[in-house]
Structure 1
C-alpha cells in the first residue's frame, strides 16, 4: 500500500505500488464523455454508436456493485434517498414569469402578509388585492404557472381570464389558517393541489373535540367532493386525517387532459456543460410541465459531455420532437424519442461508460513534457504498468471530490455536519459561504453574511442559482433566526436537503477506508464486514440488508476465506452495523469528535432520515482499452482511455489510482 497526501482533501491510500504519471484532464469539455449503461447492459446512445457490454459476473467476478445507487455528481444517491424533484420549487419562478414579474409577485406577497397583520387595525382587506402575472397563450405554460405559483405560495389563488392569469389571496386558505397553524395550512393546500392518487395528509394531534369538529366541517364544506376526513387516535393524540377520494379529481378537467396524464415519453438526453437539474428546469419551462414530471436513473457531471435516459410525463413524442431545436440552442440534444408505459426509476442503471482524454502525459518529476524515443518508451512502460495494475487489482472506492463540492471554501460535508447537529443557523451561514472571487453569486452570498438582508441578497443572486434563491426567499419571509433557517432548509426539495448530511457521511467513509488500510493492511481481518454467502445483492429495504452482513471470524481470517475486494464499510446511519474490530471503535471516536456520539441520524424538523448503507472497500474497472499517442508537434503525449464503472464509482478516483496524483 502506498499512501500520500493530496490537495483535494481526500485520503490517499493506493492499492498498487506502480509509479504513475502526470497529465491534465478536462482541458476541453469533450475530453470527458460519460454514457449511461442501462439495466440490460447497453449504452443508452447505442443507436448512435455500438455499445460494449457492461461487466458481468461471468466476465469479471469482482464487478458486483450494481446494487449501489450513485452517480459522479453532488446529488448522487447511493443510499437510496429520493432524488426526484418533488416540487416546482426547483424551477425558479423567475424562469417561468420573468425576473420583473417574479419580483412583483414577491412584493405582492409581502404586502398581503403585512395587510393580514394590520387588518384588525383598519388596514386594507387583503381579499380585495389582485396582481396580473401577464398573458400566456400556451395552455401548457398556463398550467405550469398555476401549479408553480400555488406551490410556492399556497395562500394565493390563481384565476385565468383568457389568456391572462391573476393572483389574489385564497379565502379558503385564510379560513383554514385561523383553525390550524400556518405551516399545516400550507402543507394541506400543497397536498390538495398535488392530487397524488392514494395519498393522505394528517394534521397535528388535537385534544379539543369541538375544535376538531370545526376543522372537519370546514374541510367537508370546501373540499368534500375531493377528500374524506376522519379522526383517529385516543385522547390528546387524536388527529384528523384527510384522504383523497378514489376518483377525487376536479370535474373541470377535460377528457383530453385526463388522457394526457397517462402519457410517458422516453428519450436519451445528451448535454454539454450543464447539470442534470439545470437541463430539466429548462426543458420543463419550455414544455409547460413541472420538473417533477421528469424522471431519470441518475444525475450526471456538469463539465462533461453526458448521455443519459429520461422519461417525461404528459408530453407526447411528437411534441417533444417539435421542441428539439429549442433545446439544442441550450446545449441539449434529444434522441431515441419514443412512447413508454411508465416513468424511469432512480437507480435503474448498471453503471457508466467513460471515454476520457488525458493530455500532456509525462513521468512524475520530469522536467520536459516529452523527448526522444527512449523517453517515449519509458513513458509507455509507465502507462502500461499503471493501467494493467489497476485493471488487475482495482482501486480504493473513495467518494470523489464532486461529492463535497469542488472549488468551494466551505464544503458540503461541513454544512451536513451542522444539520446533523441541528444547528440550522450555522448550516445556513455555511451554505452561503462565498468562494474566492467577485462573481455575482459570491457577491450575493457575501452581502447576506454581512447584512443578514435576505431580500437584498435575493436581488443580487443570479437567476440560475435556484437553491440559493429558494433559501433566500424563505429567509426573507420567515426571518434569519433558528425557526426561519429551518424553514429555509425545508424550502429545498428533500433530495437537495439530504445531500448535505450524506456528504458528511461520505467524508467519514473516506476517512474510515484510509484508517482501515493503514492499520489493518490488505488482508481480511477478524471483525471485518462482508456480505453473507449468496447475499451479495441488496434489497430495496435497507433494514433487511443489515441482516445479510457477515462478521469475519478468526478462523475465516486464518483460512483466507474472503478477499479484500469483498470487504464492506458502512456509511454512518441508523440501520447499519459497524465492524467488530479497531475500525468500529474508530467510527465511534470519529463521530464523537464531531459531537454525534448519540446521533440517531434523523433530523425531524427537516424530515430527514439517514438509514446508512454499505459500500465495498475496493472498486474495479471493466472493458478497459487505452492508447498513448502524440498529437501535433509540441503538444506532448495524449492518453485516450475507455472503460466501464459501476454506478457508485468515480472515474476521477480511478484515474487517481492510475496516475498517483489528482488528474
Structure 2
C-alpha cells in the first residue's frame, strides 16, 4: 500500500512508547495529540514497534566539536569519539561496572609515563603500578595536551588562531625535548606578544597554566613569555604526572579553603622528599601534612595533603591575586537515566549549594533514556563534584570526566547528538497486507537516509502526556497573564505523590508557605516561585516577581516551547499547501551554515527563481516567531499572522520587559537529513516472515544508530521511519 507524499499520519496510541497507527483521528481530537495532521516526506509504508520500553533502549550522547582537528577529518573523529563514550551506555546505574574506555578529556589513572617513580627506588609507593620506559614518557602529558587542544577556542579568542596554533606547537616541541632526555628544563621560550589589557593578561596566564601545567608564564613590559616549568619537571620525578598536573592546577586556581591530596604512599622516606620539595619551593604559600587513609587495596596507608596557609589570603584581593570562587568553573559529563535535564540540575544544585543558573549545557535531553551531555558548573571545584558522585548515583545520575574549565559551555561547542535506539515488538501496520516485515524495514531505512525527515520539534519539547504542556505556560507569559501562568505551572498530574499533592494544595488554597513545606528539596524551580509568592502574594505583581525569581534560562524555556509549537504547525501548513515545490515567497538560505541564526542570509524566492527551479526544498526555512525576523511573503506568511492573532499575540509583542524576556526569533530548515545511519535486526527470519497480523506479539527488535544535528529530535526521525507517532 503506497502513501502520497506529504501525507498525514494515523495517530499512535498515546501511551508514550508504542507506535502503531491502528486508527485515525481528525486534527484536534485526542488529548492534546502531539502531531495532528503532520506531514511525512517519504512514501514507504513503515511498521509498528515499541520505543523506550526501558531507558537503556534509548541512549543519547552529545557530540562535541574537537576544534584542533583539520576540518576534513572532524566528521570521522566525531563519530569515533561518540562511539567511545557510548561504550559506557550498557552501564546499569544500580550495578556500576568499569567503563571500557576512559571518558575523553582526562588522562587515565595508573601508569602515567615519565613522572611515575621507579618501583625499585620507592617500592611501597601506592598507586605506582609500573615503571615507564623512556619511549613511553609523558603519555599522561599527551592526554593533557589533547585536553588543551580541545579547548583551543579559548586561546583563539584571546590570541587569535595563528598565535594559538604556535603556542600548541611550542608546548608539543617542549615535551618532545623533555622526552628525549634534555637536561635543561628551561630551554626555549615562546612570546605571546604584547597584551596591553590587564584582564586579558590575567585570563591568558590562567588559561596557559591550567591547560599546560608544565609551562609557566611571565610578563615583561606587557609582553607575555611562555617557557617550561622546572618545578613541574622536578615534581614529576617524585610523583605521577597526573598528580603533578593536578597539583599545579590546584596551585594556580588558588581557591580559598581548598585542599589537594597526593596518592596514598606507604614509603616514609619518599613522603619526606615530597614534603621537603613543596616546603622548599612553595613554603610561603602552602603547608603540608600527612594523614592516614585507605589505599586502592583497602589497606591503611598515608597520604600527603596540601593546603594554602591562612596568612597567604590577603584581605583585599587584587585583579592578579587569588581567583574568586565565582570565577571557578568545572566541566563534567552528566550521565542520567529516567530524569529530566532540569530535574537533574535541581538535584545537583541542591547538593552542591549553588543555583541552577550556575550550570550551563547545550540542550534538554530526553527523560526516558540514558543520556550523556557535557555541562559546566560555576563556583564548584572539581574535588567537590567528585565528592557527591555516590549520592547522585542513587538519583539516577553519574558524573564523568571532571576537569577544570575557564568559562560556561557555549552552544557552538555542540556538533549534534548520537543515538543508539532499540525498537521492540516489531510488526506490520494493521492496514499492511505484506508478509515481509524485513523488506518494510529495509525500504524505510533507505528512504529516510536519502530523503530525510520533516524537522519537527519532538514531544519532549512540550512535556509529553502532561495535563498542562510547556507551550501553554509560554503563551500565558507572552500575553503577560502572570497569575494564569503560575496556576498552569502548578497544575498537578493525576499521580498521588508529594510533588503533585503540594501543587494540588497550592491551587486549592493559594497557601504558598504551606505548599513550600510539602515540596521535596530537589524541586528548585517550584520552591523559588513559592518563596516569592509567599512574600509578594498571588496577584499579578507577586506572580511577576515569582517568575523573575527563577533563572532566565528557565523562564525563556517556556516561551521557546510556544514558539516551537507554532513552528511545527507552520511546517505542516507549508507542506500541505505547497508540497515539495519551492514557490515564490518562500524563505531560503543562500549560503549553507551549520548553525541557523539571524546572521544567516535569508532570501525571499522570486517568481523567476520559482520557474527556474533554482532552489530545492532542503534549502527552505521557516521562521521561529520573534520580533526581528522576516516572514514568507506567500500564504505561509499570512498564516503566521492569523495564527498569532488567534493567540492574542502580535509581531511586536515578543518582548516581555517585566520578565526581562527578549525573543528575536530565528530560522529553522523544514527538512533535515540523518547521518551515519546503521541498523540490524535481532531475531529469527522465520519470525519476521510469519508476522502478518498487527495484533500478534513479535520477538523481533530493531537496533538503529544515527547522528542528528543540534535541535533535531530522534523521535521525529523514528516517526518518519516507522510512519508512527509516539
Q: 1:456 to 1:5 in 2, by over 3 A?
A: farther
Aligned residue number for residue 654 of structure 1: 717
Q: Superposed, which structure 2 residues align to 1:179-578 within 5 Å?
A: 251=316, 258=323, 263-287=328-352, 289-317=354-382, 320-365=385-430, 375=435, 378-532=436-590, 534=591, 536=593, 542=598, 544-545=599-600, 548-578=601-631
Q: Are the aligned partners of 1:296 and 1:345 in contact in 2 as well (CA < 8 Å)?
A: yes
Shift of 1:279: 3.2
Out of 43, 60, 78, which is 1:17 matched to? Answer: 43
Shift of 1:394: 0.6
Shift of 1:567: 0.5
Say if 2:86 is the partner of 1:39. Answer: no
Cα RMSD, aligned residues only: 3.1
Q: Are the aligned partners of 1:407 and 1:435 in contact in 2 as well (CA < 8 Å)?
A: no
Shift of 1:357: 0.4
Q: Are the aligned partners of 1:474 and 1:491 in contact in 2 as well (CA < 8 Å)?
A: yes
Say if 2:646 is the partner of 1:581. Answer: no
Q: 1:635 to 1:352 in 2, by over 3 A?
A: same
After TM superposition, the score normalised by the length of structure 1 is 0.64
Q: 1:607 to 1:321 in 2, by over 3 A?
A: closer
Shift of 1:624: 0.4
1:62-111 Cα deviation digits (max 9, x unpaired): xxxxxxxxxxxxxxxxxxxxxxxxxxxxxxxxxxxxxxxxxxxxxxxxxx
1:13 partner SS: coil
Out of 7, 15, 29, which is 1:2 matched to? Answer: 7
Aligned residue number for residue 109 of structure 1: none
Query: 2:495 & 2:350 partners in 1: Cα distance?
Result: 31
Q: 1:619 to 1:454 in 2, by over 3 A?
A: same
Q: Select between 648-657 and 423-432 the one with higher mean Cα deviation.
A: 423-432
Q: Compare relative contact order (CA 8 Å, sep 6+) and give the higher one, 1 or 2.
A: 1
Out of 584, 593, 596, which is 2:646 matched to? Answer: 593
Count of aligned positions: 458
1:352-393 Cα deviation digits (max 9, x unpaired): 00000000010011899xxxxx94xx1101111111111111
Shift of 1:411: 1.4
Radius of gyration: which is bigger?
A: 2
Q: Are the aligned partners of 1:21 and 1:383 in contact in 2 as well (CA < 8 Å)?
A: yes
Q: 1:341 to 1:466 in 2, by over 3 A?
A: closer
Shift of 1:570: 0.2
Query: 2:431 & 2:455 partners in 1: Cα distance?
Result: 29
Q: 1:311 to 1:424 in 2, by over 3 A?
A: closer
Query: 2:655 & 2:335 partners in 1: Cα distance?
Result: 37
Out of 638, 659, 663, which is 2:701 matched to? Answer: 638
Query: 1:322 & 1:429 partners in 2: Cα distance?
Result: 38
Shift of 1:487: 1.0
Q: Are the aligned partners of 1:391 and 1:624 in contact in 2 as well (CA < 8 Å)?
A: yes
Query: 2:354 & 2:705 partners in 1: Cα distance?
Result: 37
Q: 1:574 to 1:307 in 2, by over 3 A?
A: same
Q: 1:526 to 1:20 in 2, by over 3 A?
A: same
Unaligned segments of structure 1, at least 5 residues? 52-137, 141-248, 369-373
Unaligned segments of structure 2, at least 5 residues? 1-5, 15-32, 67-74, 89-255, 259-313, 688-696
Shift of 1:616: 0.3
1:596 partner SS: coil
Shift of 1:593: 1.3
1:394-448 Cα deviation digits (max 9, x unpaired): 1111111111111211211111111111111121122222222333322222222
Shift of 1:601: 0.5
Q: Superposed, which structure 2 residues align to 1:73-88 within 5 Å?
A: none
Query: 1:435 & 1:318 partners in 2: Cα distance?
Result: 39
Q: 1:422 to 1:325 in 2, by over 3 A?
A: closer
Query: 2:480 & 2:379 partners in 1: Cα distance?
Result: 39
After TM superposition, the score normalised by the length of structure 2 is 0.58
Aligned residue number for residue 117 of structure 2: none
Q: 1:257 to 1:278 in 2, by over 3 A?
A: farther
Shift of 1:265: 3.8
2:401 partner SS: strand
1:24 partner SS: strand
Query: 1:568 & 1:316 partners in 2: Cα distance?
Result: 43
1:4 partner SS: coil
Shift of 1:620: 1.1
